[in-house]
Structure 1
C-alpha cells in the first residue's frame, strides 16, 4: 500500500515527458507505473490534462527574516513559493545583522524551521574569511557561500558586514579560503570603483525619474569588469564559482572568453529574460533591481547564452520590499530600494517560453531546478521524480494561463509587483506538493508553517 497515486497526466522524467502514473510512500517517489497500473492508495490525484514536474529549486532568494517583517516574512514568502511551484529555496545571507557568524546562522535556521512552508537551505557570508568560521558553517550545513564585490549600501553596514568585499585582495582571499569546500561561492559582481564613477556622472546629468537612468548610472561595464576579474582570480584560487544574475551581452562575452579556465557557472533571472528598460520606465521605481534590467539586445544575448550553455541557471532573485519603502522614493531611481517579487512568476514565465518554442520543457526545468539541485549537491533527492526522490511536485497546466495583477499575488510584496502587472504567461501552476502533501491547491496555500525542512548538500 502506498500513500498517494497521481494518475492520468504526463510526468517530466530526465529523458523528457512520459505518460506514466506516480506512486508516493513516506514522502518519496515509490514508483513509476504504466497508466492505470499504480498500486492502490488511500488518496489518488487525477492529473488528467496536467504535467507533473519535480518541484522547482530556486537557488537565489531573499526575505531577510526575521528582520524587516513589513517587507515579508518567512511564512508569507514561502507561501508565495508554494503558489509558484517552488518547493525548495535557498535564502541569501543579507539579514540584520548579516548571516556572517555561526551564531546568526543558527538563529536563522531555527527561525526558518519554525515558519517555512517549503524546504529551505541557507547561504552563509564568509565573515572574517578564516578557515575556522568556514568550517563551522560547513558543519552547520550551509548550502553555499555568498559575497558582494560592492560596498555596503549607505546606512546598511550591519546587513553586509562579512558579505561585502569591494577590494580585490579580499575577493581573492574569499575565493581561496572557500575553494575545496565543494560548495558554490556565489558572487554579486559589479565593480565598486566603476559604480561610484558612473553614479556621480548620472546624478549630475540624468533625470532621476526616468526608467532609463538606472541602466545608464549602473552600466554593463560595471558587471563585466567585475566578472572578468573574478574569473581571472579563480584560475589561481580554484573555487566553485557561480556568477549571480547576469544581465548583459558584455558579461556573456566575458563568460565565453573564460570558458574552461576554472570551475564556474552563471545564472540569469526572468526579469532580464522577459523585460527591458522600457518596461522599467513604464513601471517606475517599483521595477528597480540591481543589477539593472537592460536593453533588448542584452536580453537577446542572454537567450543566446542559454541556448549555447554559457548560462545554465535561471533564478528568481526574489527580493520583496514594502510598498511604503518604494513609494518614499517615487520618481527617484537613485534613492529607490532595489528589489522585486519573483517567486510566483518564474515558473509561469519559463512555461511561457516553452509555449513560444524558445525552450523544451526539459530545458526549462533544467534551468530552474535540475541544474541547481545538481550544482548544490541535492540531486537526486531533489530535481527529479525518479524512485527514491522527494515527492516534491509541481502539477502544471501547459495550456492554462497566468495573469499577473497588482495585489493578486500571495507574496507580501504583491502591491509592488509593477514590473509584471498585466503580463499574461502561457502556463499555470495547478497544484504544488511537498513530500507528497499538497501545499498549494491552485487557489490557496494549504501548507502549514513549519512544514518545510532544512536541506543540506
Structure 2
C-alpha cells in the first residue's frame, strides 16, 4: 500500500482543532506532527484550507443485499458512503433472506469482502424463534444483535414477551433496537384507513406512527435492559418524548460513562433526517421522506438536537434505506419506508455547523469517536498514531450541489436533490487507501471487516 503524506491540514480530533501534517503508512496513521514535509512518501497531498476528520462510522444502514439488489447492493452503497466521507458502516439484517443464522450472516460478510469499498460489519438478526442462533454470536466479530420491536421485512418482528426476556437477559453483546409499539401502529393504521381510504395526505405518517408508539416501545426496551443489565442501543430516536429516557454520558478513555463513573449501558442514536426534516416537509417531498420511525413535528427536531448537545443521545447515523423511484412514487399506503442518505450525511451535519447548531468538534464526536466507543471498535474512530487511517478531508469553503448525476447510490435519487451544501468532501481514506478523490473512486483496494474489543 502506498504511503501518503498530508500537509497543512486543520486536524479535528478529540475536541480540538490543530494545524498538523499526517503520514499514512501501511494503512495506518504513522505520524502526526508539524513540519513533516521532510518525510518521504509515495504521494504528497497539500491539504491547505481543508479540515481533516476521522472518517464517519455509520452504525445503521440498509444496503439491501442479498435479495433486494434491484434497490441497492453492498458495493453500490459502500461507494456512496465513501464519496460522502463515511469510511465504515454497520448493516442491518432485514435483507432477503433475513440474516437469522450464523451462516447467512457470514454470507453477507463474504459479499462485502468482495465488493465493499468501505469497512464493514453486519448485525445478527433476532426473531421470535432463533434464540439458539443468536447465542452463537461471537461478540468480537460483529457489531451487535438487532431486534425489531416493530414490524419489518420478513420474520423479524420480535413481539413474544418470553423471547424478549431471554434475549435481553442472555445476549452476548450489544442489542440494537428499532422501537415502535406494533399494536399502537396497527390500531392507528386501521383508524386512518377507515377515515381516509386510499386518499391519504402524506403528512399523516407523523401521526400514524406517532409519539405514543415510539415512547411506549422505547420505554419497554429500557425497562428490559435495566432489569437484565443489558447493553442496549436504541436506534433512530424520532421524538423529544423519548429523550427523557436517557442519562447524560461522558466519553473517557474509550468508554461512555455516567456521572457516577459507571458504564453507560443504555445508549441512543439520532439520525440525520430527523435533524434535517420535519412534518412540514411532507408537503414538498411526500412519500420520498416516508420512513420508520416517522419524521415528526418541528419541535421534536429541536428536542433531539438538544439531547445530542447535552449527551443524552450518543451518536448520529443515517438509517440509509434506498428504494427505487418507482416504489417511492406509489400512493401513501403501498409506498415503502426509507430514504437514501449515506452520501450526504456529513454534508448535512457540516451545514448545521455553518448554521451554528453544532460545532465541527461535536460532529466528529458523534459520528466517529462516540460510535467507536459505543461499539468497542478496535483502532478506529480517532486520528491517533497507530490507528487505522480512516480519514476524510473536507473543504468548508467549497459547495456541493446535489444532482442525480452526482449520486452513487443505485436507487439514483436523493431527498437532497437541488440542495446546495456549503461544504465539499475532497478526499476519503479507507484503511490508508485513497478510496475517493475529487469526485472519483479508486476500488483497487477494498475495505476491511471491523473488529471489536469485547
2: CA distance, partners of 1:42 / 1:257: 45
1:217 to 1:407, Cα distance in 2 relative to 1, 3 A: farther
2: CA distance, partners of 1:340 / 1:151: 17
Question: Is the 1:23–1:38 Cα contact (8 Å) retained in structure 2?
Answer: no
The match for 1:59 is 59
The match for 1:353 is 352
The match for 1:438 is 434
Deviation at 1:422, TM superposition (A): 2.1
The match for 1:229 is 220
1:358-437 correspondence to structure 2 within 5 Å? 358-379=357-378, 381-415=379-413, 417=414, 419-437=415-433
1: CA distance, partners of 2:370 / 2:165: 26
2: CA distance, partners of 1:40 / 1:407: 38
The match for 2:342 is 343
Deviation at 1:414, TM superposition (A): 2.5
Moved more, 183-192 or 249-258: 249-258
Question: Is the 1:127–1:133 Cα contact (8 Å) retained in structure 2?
Answer: no
The match for 1:212 is 203
1:185-264 correspondence to structure 2 within 5 Å? 185-206=175-196, 208-255=199-246, 263-264=265-266
Deviation at 1:173, TM superposition (A): 2.0
Deviation at 1:171, TM superposition (A): 2.1
The alignment covers a number of residue pairs equal to 440
Question: Is the 1:247–1:293 Cα contact (8 Å) retained in structure 2?
Answer: yes
1: CA distance, partners of 2:54 / 2:287: 35
2: CA distance, partners of 1:128 / 1:104: 17
Cα RMSD (Å) of the superposition?
2.3
Question: Is the 2:101–2:134 Cα contact (8 Å) retained in structure 1?
Answer: no
Question: Is the 1:129–1:173 Cα contact (8 Å) retained in structure 2?
Answer: no
TM-score (norm 2): 0.92
2: CA distance, partners of 1:128 / 1:272: 29
Deviation at 1:67, TM superposition (A): 1.4
2: CA distance, partners of 1:321 / 1:251: 28
The match for 1:17 is 17
- Structure 1: 5+ residue stretches without partners: none
The match for 2:451 is 456
Deviation at 1:290, TM superposition (A): 0.6
1: CA distance, partners of 2:391 / 2:245: 36
Write the deviation string for residues 33-82 of structure 1: whole angstroms up to 9, x where unpaired: 21345522121011011111111111101112021111011111101011
Question: Is the 2:4–2:23 Cα contact (8 Å) retained in structure 1?
Answer: yes
Deviation at 1:133, TM superposition (A): 2.4
Deviation at 1:208, TM superposition (A): 4.4
The match for 1:73 is 73
Question: Is the 2:88–2:119 Cα contact (8 Å) retained in structure 1?
Answer: yes
Write the deviation string for residues 287-334 of structure 1: whole angstroms up to 9, x where unpaired: 11111101111111111111111111110100011122223x1xx222
2: CA distance, partners of 1:363 / 1:432: 20
1: CA distance, partners of 2:132 / 2:50: 49
Counterpart pick for 2:300 among 294, 298, 301: 298
2: CA distance, partners of 1:80 / 1:311: 26
2: CA distance, partners of 1:390 / 1:285: 40
1:86 to 1:43, Cα distance in 2 relative to 1, 3 A: same
1: CA distance, partners of 2:433 / 2:404: 29
1:338 to 1:407, Cα distance in 2 relative to 1, 3 A: farther
1:138-149 correspondence to structure 2 within 5 Å? 138=138, 141-149=141-149
Deviation at 1:407, TM superposition (A): 4.6
Deviation at 1:117, TM superposition (A): 0.9
1:139 to 1:347, Cα distance in 2 relative to 1, 3 A: closer
Question: Is the 1:54–1:393 Cα contact (8 Å) retained in structure 2?
Answer: yes
Moved more, 31-40 or 344-353: 31-40
SS at match of 1:90: strand
SS at match of 2:398: strand
SS at match of 1:137: coil
Question: Is the 1:5–1:41 Cα contact (8 Å) retained in structure 2?
Answer: yes
Deviation at 1:126, TM superposition (A): 3.2
1: CA distance, partners of 2:302 / 2:324: 32
Write the deviation string for residues 199-226 of structure 1: whole angstroms up to 9, x where unpaired: 1111122474422111121111100011
1:139 to 1:291, Cα distance in 2 relative to 1, 3 A: closer
1:21 to 1:107, Cα distance in 2 relative to 1, 3 A: same
Counterpart pick for 1:166 among 133, 156, 159: 159
1:130 to 1:77, Cα distance in 2 relative to 1, 3 A: closer
SS at match of 2:370: helix
